[in-house]
Amino acid sequence: MSENEDKLLSKLLADEPFRKWVAAGEFRKSGNYWSDWLAGHPEFSQTVWQAIDIVLASHWDEPVGDDEVEQVLTGAEKKIEGYRQHQRVRKIWWRMAAASVLLAGALTWWGNSTGEANGSSEASVSLTTPEGWMEFRNTGSVNRSRVLPDGSSIVLLPGSRVLYHSAFGDSTRTVKLSGTAFFEVAKKEGIPFYVQAPDVTMRVTGTSFGVRTPGRSKDLEVAVHSGSVAVYPGKAGPVTLTAGRQAVYTPESGELKAADPFDWMTKILEIFQTEFEDERASDILTNLGKAYGMEVQFDEDRFSECVLTTSLYDLPLPNKLALIATSLGGDTRYEITDDNRIIFNGSGCKPDNQ
């Protein structure tokens, strides 16, 4: 860190309004002084986000003196490390976090009205998509899926919607969710994956989990299938959920509590068969198509002769398809078309003379 960055960090930590902005959780929102200032000064984003983490780790919201600032700065790295539950701090993470704030001005799409999704009221979204953002909406009656530019896959339940930036995957991986979705996150070193919902942000690096956001007056539900998810509820610091854990966030109380398995998550997992033993490749591909709500095209005559024993556990859709193609060997190839179809090509396992 340069001398100028050191000075800025010290000034931020000594600034009571800045600390209160962080402690109140306002740094996750747009339309306030510090968020607007950061959006206008991206060159300081790394230092600002470092200050945010230090404030959260130190639980500062009262006046402090220069001596205390210096004392905390001396042990800042240890505090940040503990706050993030021993996750390694990478410079690229600061760029990722800063990018999320810079985009915050475009993310005021939640709205205050309600709509219907999954049989209950959900936080509705504005009819327009912010400039630079891509929309994926499920207006049908069955699950639909989308593969994101980084290779992550989303299964979106009926009546749900996500937004992601056109630059998704380059330096930022943030999606905005309204409704219910199941995420299979591709591992990407140094660039965490964020899911933002009303009052809650979830941060992962590579895992599979489900989120349901029925509405502002209802509870938000998170269920982790594999890996771990750091949940930032309201103004509080992160709570880490590991595989097999579920939690409910209640906006009125601001509490995040453990929960029993959710019916909606159980139903999602039931259609995701991941272990196959001596299964026909054609049956595996058909199963995938049903699970992801996507049309799968292949030569039934050729691929029905192929038998596979494999595990597709904890893999995003592209990785599953690549594993199947590799297992079949030869000239087997797959593609996901622009109109969301999966196409498998190759000679399969049936001899040409049959």
Give the dihedral sign, CA 169/177/262/321.
negative
Give the dihedral sign, CA 41/44/49/54.
negative
DSSP 108: -
Give Cα 210 distance to the centre of its chain.
Answer: 10
Give the dihedral sign, CA 260/263/265/271.
positive
pLDDT at res. 47: 78
pLDDT at res. 334: 94
d(CA 235, CA 142): 35
pLDDT at res. 138: 93
Give the dihedral sign, CA 259/265/270/275.
negative
pLDDT at res. 58: 57
Query: Would you state the structure tokens that stand for residue 57, as one six-digit string?
Result: 């780790």
d(CA 135, CA 163): 5
Interhelix angle for 16-23 vs 3-14, to 10°? 80
Per-residue confidence in pLDDT tens, the chain, 354 aa: 566 777 788 888 888 888 888 888 787 776 778 877 776 676 777 778 777 767 765 555 554 454 554 554 444 444 444 444 433 333 333 333 333 333 333 333 333 322 333 333 333 333 356 777 889 999 999 999 999 999 999 999 999 999 988 878 877 788 989 999 999 999 888 788 989 887 788 988 779 999 998 664 479 999 999 999 999 887 667 889 999 999 999 888 888 999 999 999 999 999 888 899 999 999 999 999 999 999 999 998 888 889 999 999 889 999 999 999 998 887 899 999 988 899 999 888 865 544
Which residue shows structure tokens 């292949």?
298
pLDDT at res. 2: 62
Among residues 48, 233, 266, 168, which one has the least CA distance to residue 176?
A: 168
- Contact at 8 Å (CB) between 101 and 157? no
- Give the CA dihedral 291, 295, 301, 306, nearest 10 degrees: -40
